Each structure stands twice: as structure tokens, then as C-alpha cells.
């Protein structure tokens, strides 16, 4: 009986640790993916909290997206020929911003973006700070702030047009998954690519990288948005689970040997 009481005290102490300052009982929320599409019946762009557009599901206007999007979420713009221009403005940072077949003008002004993908002839103006920008085939992209990496990816053609107003730490040319050219340290407002050809003067970039600019990896994706990673559980949750298991075991032992 004394041993059981001692065990219960220990279990209570472990469970109590989960509520001490510095511990949290909630895991990181998984990122939400929002798909944005122009809906002719509403004569406006609409948004759904889904990874691909579902005609049978409900949707809200762009203001709905602005109110609900949170840091770390993913936004996918699913465009088509004839759609009007789209201007997205919100304060949240994004883990992934992808634009597909939006041949009119899409502007994004948000918190920092980790990865931006410009696919299938899209025309995009990235006003946000963006770490990595991937421009495919015949797409057009204006990068307004400094970028860690701009990657020019050929799937069917190498005809993209890209202009960067800030510095670019690294640029890669990728042909069907193979890096054919790797360049570094582009000066402010010097990066320019026309029809897939670099137009920056050689004096404004380097052919050798530094420790901080040589960690990029070639993207071999065919243009699909990268799946976001789910959040990891905190140590407090594991402490609480262990405590509950031990407590259940203690009561089971008490019942067995009573």
C-alpha cells in the first residue's frame, strides 16, 4: 500500500510538470491550405480552406481569406485564361504561395513567404519578403525584395521573365531536375532574366558561392504545391500521457492486489 501511495505521488508530480511555466499543453496547429479561384457566378475571386478547389463546397470572398489566414499557412491561386487581376493583401506570413495558370496579374503583399511557386504561364508580382522563388517555363515574376534563392525551372520551356528589385543571394537554372547553372551574390536591382536568358552583367554576380549561399537544392517538382509539414507535439504532452498511463497502471495494480 505504501508503494502504491509513493507511485501515485510520483505520477502526480510528473503530471504537474506539464503545467509549469515554460510548458504548453497544445501542439502546433497544422498549416491550412487555401485555394483561391475566380468564380464567374459571383464575378469575383473566392477562397476555400481546401488544397484543391471543390465546386460543391462553400467559399468566401478575398476578405474571408484576409481574416482567416494565419502564419505558416499555404495559399494556392488557381487561375485560368480570362480571369481578372487579383490583389492579395494580408499581414500573415506564408510557408508556401503558389500561382497556377493565372495569366493576368496576381499581386501578393503579405508577411514573409518561405517558398513562392510561379507556374504555367502565370504573371505574379511578389511584394512580400520571399526567401525562395521558383519560376517555371514561360511565367513572369517580379520579386520586389531581397531573395535567398531564385530558381528558374524548365519543364516544357525555358522562356520565363524575371526581375528582382533587391539582392539575390543565389540563382539556379534547372532543366528537368538538373541544375545547369549556379550563380551567386547578385547586386541590388541587377537581376534580370528575359526569355530564360540571364541579362545581368557579369560584374554584378559571382560564379562561386559562400557558406551562406550554397545550401539551396534543386526543385524537381512538376509544379504541384509542396505539402506543408504538420506541427510537432510539445514535450509537455508526452509527460502528461506518461503520467496518465502510469496512473491507470497504478489503479489496475491496486484492484488486482486488493
Q: How far is CA 116 from CA 49, 206, 245, in A?
A: 19, 24, 44
pLDDT at 96 over 60: yes
- What band does 230 get if pLDDT is binned at 50, 70 and 90? very low
Please tell me the predicted confidence (pLDDT) of residue 29: 78
Global confidence as pTM: 0.75
Beta strands in 165-224 (DSSP E): 168-175, 178-186, 192-194, 197-198
Greatest alpha-carbon span in the chain: 86
SS3 at position 253: helix
Question: How far is the C-alpha of 240 from the C-alpha of 127, rounded, in Å?
Answer: 44
- Summarised one tens digit per residue, pLDDT across range 150-201 is 999 999 999 999 999 999 999 999 999 999 999 999 999 999 999 999 999 9
- Beta strand 197-198 with 192-194: parallel, antiparallel or unpaired? antiparallel
Please tell me the predicted confidence (pLDDT) of residue 16: 52
Please tell me the predicted confidence (pLDDT) of residue 87: 98
| pLDDT over 90 percentage in the chain | 69
Please tell me the predicted confidence (pLDDT) of residue 220: 44
Amino acid at each position: 500500500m505504501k508503494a502504491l501511495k509513493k507511485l501515485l505521488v510520483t505520477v502526480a508530480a510528473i503530471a504537474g510538470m506539464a503545467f509549469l511555466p515554460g510548458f504548453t499543453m497544445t501542439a502546433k496547429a497544422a498549416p491550412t491550405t487555401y485555394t483561391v479561384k475566380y468564380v464567374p457566378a459571383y464575378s469575383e475571386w473566392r477562397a476555400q480552406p481546401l488544397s484543391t478547389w471543390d465546386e460543391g463546397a462553400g467559399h468566401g470572398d478575398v476578405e474571408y481569406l484576409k481574416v482567416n489566414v494565419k502564419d505558416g499557412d499555404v495559399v494556392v491561386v488557381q487561375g485560368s485564361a480570362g480571369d481578372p487581376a487579383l490583389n492579395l493583401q494580408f499581414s500573415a506570413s506564408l510557408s508556401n504561395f503558389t500561382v497556377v495558370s493565372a495569366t493576368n496579374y496576381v499581386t501578393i503583399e503579405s508577411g514573409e513567404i518561405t517558398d513562392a511557386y510561379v507556374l504555367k504561364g502565370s504573371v505574379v508580382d511578389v511584394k512580400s519578403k520571399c526567401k525562395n522563388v521558383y519560376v517555371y517555363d514561360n511565367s513572369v515574376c517580379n520579386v520586389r525584395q531581397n531573395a535567398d534563392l531564385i530558381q528558374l525551372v524548365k519543364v516544357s520551356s525555358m522562356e520565363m521573365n524575371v526581375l528582382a528589385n533587391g539582392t539575390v543571394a543565389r540563382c539556379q537554372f534547372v532543366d528537368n531536375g538538373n541544375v545547369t547553372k549556379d550563380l551567386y551574390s547578385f547586386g541590388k536591382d541587377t537581376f534580370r532574366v528575359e526569355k530564360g536568358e540571364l541579362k545581368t552583367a557579369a560584374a554584378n554576380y559571382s560564379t562561386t558561392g559562400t557558406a551562406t549561399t550554397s545550401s539551396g537544392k534543386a526543385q524537381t517538382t512538376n509544379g504541384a504545391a509542396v505539402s506543408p509539414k504538420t506541427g510537432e507535439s510539445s514535450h509537455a504532452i508526452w509527460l502528461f500521457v506518461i503520467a496518465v498511463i502510469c496512473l491507470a497502471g497504478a489503479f489496475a495494480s491496486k484492484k488486482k492486489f486488493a
